[in-house]
A = this chain, B = another copy of it.
Amino acid sequence: MTMRSIEIYDTTLRDGTQGEGVSLSLQDKLNIAQRLAEMGIDFIEGGYPLSNEKDTAFFEQVRKLDMGSSRVCAFGMTRRRSMKAEDDPGMKALVAAQTPAVTMVGKTWDYHATEVLGVSLDENLDMIGESVAFLKRHADVLYDAEHFFDGWKANPKYAAQTLQAAVDAGAGWVVLCDTNGGSLPEEIAEIVGQVKQQLADTNVTIGIHCHNDSELAVANTLAAVDAGANQVQGTINGIGERCGNVDLISAMANLALKKKGYQVLGGQPLTHLTELSRYVYETANLQWRSGQPFVGQSAFAHKGGMHVHAVNKSASTYEHIDPATVGNERRILVSELSGRSNIIALTTKHDLQDDKELMNKILAEVVRLENQGYQFESAGASFDLLVKRLAGTFTSHFQTIKYRIVAGDRDAQNKVAFAEAIVKLQVGDVLWFDAAEGHGPVNALDAALRKALQDTYPELSEMRLLDYKVRVVDSGAGTAAHIRVNIESGDKHDTWGTIGVSENIIEASWKALVDAFEYKLHKSKTSTPQQPAEF
């Protein structure tokens, strides 16, 4: 079968940053651009050079990087009304960005031209044509047709004219944007098909740019490709305004691995997708979405016991793709329900297969702890430590002699709260007694632990606490209930989860903290970077 190559156009650095809570520094943007280029992404939209100095600086600096075969694009709008293209500050900024390609957005929807821009329908066509023609002297031009599908539904003839204006002026791509994200797959298929007919005699590439407001961005993108689009625009992890852009991760994985007849990224394997997804989350300081299709931590996680037994027997019949094809991993979640087959799957790396007695001890301990409120599914590091303890291969790096926190208000009238912690630890033959303040008691305990351990274990400086979760396990008991604390920690290689349960939230937090530190210290002893449990 001949494979159609679908171009991948990333706008994480521009449309992605419109997302609520998304903010990237100049260096973040350069780092992500570099990573996208290493993946072989065809087009990388770097920003909107007129809008801010950071984006202007980005285009200056990205020129110094080796971007391989990726083409960096600057983004801008059509010239303003009643102004020549060559005099327009936005046009000038696009040219000054010196990118091999520029992406220019224009109005498709008659209402937006007349009511938002306040220009006649003819002047809007002139603005599109003249802007494209001007930019074409400096770079390849991609034309983004804003509100394309809504505009087409309102006035198809005029929408077609806007595309024609761009094509006649030399645009090499017309990108059909579902700006409000409200279109349905059947509408996308129908309209892209009509545009394909309109442009049948040209060499213009049709692109598709979807938003996820109806939770249909991926389906809409695939429908457009089936109908003739050869370029897909989106963002890594689907970050973006409102409900986000289409997630390029899902779009690429579906095109290359699930649909028939398409290839992306020159047919390379997609084994770096998971790493790319997490890199972008980490750089943007956003939480991973554990249920994210293809690359989420839970995407190939198996919970129910019967299920797990069968997964071990024939994974492919319980997984829609092999997780390794996207660089992800199968995880077997430990839970009371899952029984022995889960535990066996989880402990393979500990080499305990033949020790039935030990396996039974582990299972009994998991059940005992789960009855207290433990849940190991998000606490793979605590589980690994538990196995080591029961197997006799655990050596503690420090012993707690004492810990204590004091918290309250320094000044109740002015609401100045405080938290202080002291810890007394034995590390080898040395006793360490240290104190620290913190934003709250757990933060103070973390700080005091680091102070007491940093001389002996300098590698702790690269460990960070990423997330802290609290859950009341048997909430009927009010403030006397059991409290479960989960801590997620990370360094530059891995992330790992630990857990503590107690009626006392301070004690629960302390247990989870101690496990987090012990796991890091155990991990650093192994010569090769170790994956934090095979969960």
Interface residues of A (CB under 8 A from B): 18-21, 23, 25, 27, 51-52, 109, 111-112, 115-116, 147, 150, 180-182, 184-185, 212-216, 218-219, 222-223, 238, 241-244, 247, 250, 253-254, 258-259, 285-287, 289-294, 296-305, 307, 310, 313-314, 317-321, 333, 337, 375, 377-378, 399-409, 412, 415, 417-419, 438-443, 446, 464-472, 474-476, 478-481, 483, 487, 502-507, 510
The DSSP consensus for interface residues of chain A is: mixed
Within the complex, the shortest CB–CB distance from A532 to chain B, in Å, comes to 16
- Given A185-B223, A469-B472, 20 more contacts at CB 8 Å? A20-B297, A20-B298, A111-B317, A112-B317, A116-B307, A116-B310, A116-B313, A116-B317, A180-B318, A185-B219, A213-B320, A214-B293, A215-B247, A241-B302, A242-B298, A243-B292, A438-B479, A464-B478, A466-B476, A467-B475
Q: For residue A185, which residues in chain B have a CB less than 8 angstroms away from its CB? A: 185, 219, 222-223
* Contact assessment for A406 and B406 in the assembled complex, using a CB-CB cutoff below 8 Å: yes
Instruction: Give the number of times this chain occurs in the complex, counting copies.
Output: 2
B21 near A377 with CB under 8 A, answer yes
Closest to A183 in B: B320
Q: Which of B337, B417, B465 contacts A507 (CB 8 A)?
A: B417
- The verdict on A438 contacting B304 (CB below 8 Å), with A216-B254, A504-B407 known, is no
Distance in Å: Cβ of A195 to nearest Cβ of chain B = 20
B475 touches A479 (CB 8 A): no
Task: Give every chain B residue within 8 A of A147 (Cβ-Cβ).
Answer: 317
Q: List 14 A-B contacts (CB under 8 A).
A: A21-B378, A23-B471, A25-B476, A52-B337, A214-B293, A238-B291, A405-B406, A408-B506, A409-B510, A439-B480, A441-B505, A446-B478, A466-B475, A468-B472
Task: Determine whether the beta carbon of B475 is less than 8 Å from that of A258.
Answer: no
CB-CB under 8 A from A111, the residues of chain B are 314, 317
The chain B residue with its CB closest to the CB of A306 is B116
CA distance A507 to B506 in the complex (A): 14
Q: Please give, as numbers and ranges, the residues of chain B lying within 8 Å of A180 by CB-CB distance.
A: 317-320
Q: Are A440 and B506 closer than 8 Å at their CB atoms?
A: yes
Closest to A20 in B: B298
- In the bound complex, do residue B472 and residue A291 qualify as a contact, i.e. CB atoms below 8 Å apart? no
Considering only CB atoms, which chain B residue lies closest to A443 in the complex? B479
Contacts of A213 in B (CB 8 A): 293-294, 299, 320
Q: Which of B285, B320, B337, B475 contacts A214 (CB 8 A)?
A: B320
How many angstroms between the C-alpha atoms of A297 and B111 in the bound complex? 28
Q: Is the CB of A320 within 8 A of B507?
A: no
Given A20-B378, A478-B464, check contact A407 B250 (CB 8 Å). Answer: no
The answer to whether B478 touches A472 (Cβ under 8 A) is: no
> Nearest 10 pairs between A and B by C-beta?
A182-B320, A219-B219, A404-B408, A465-B478, A470-B470, A440-B504, A417-B507, A439-B503, A407-B506, A215-B250
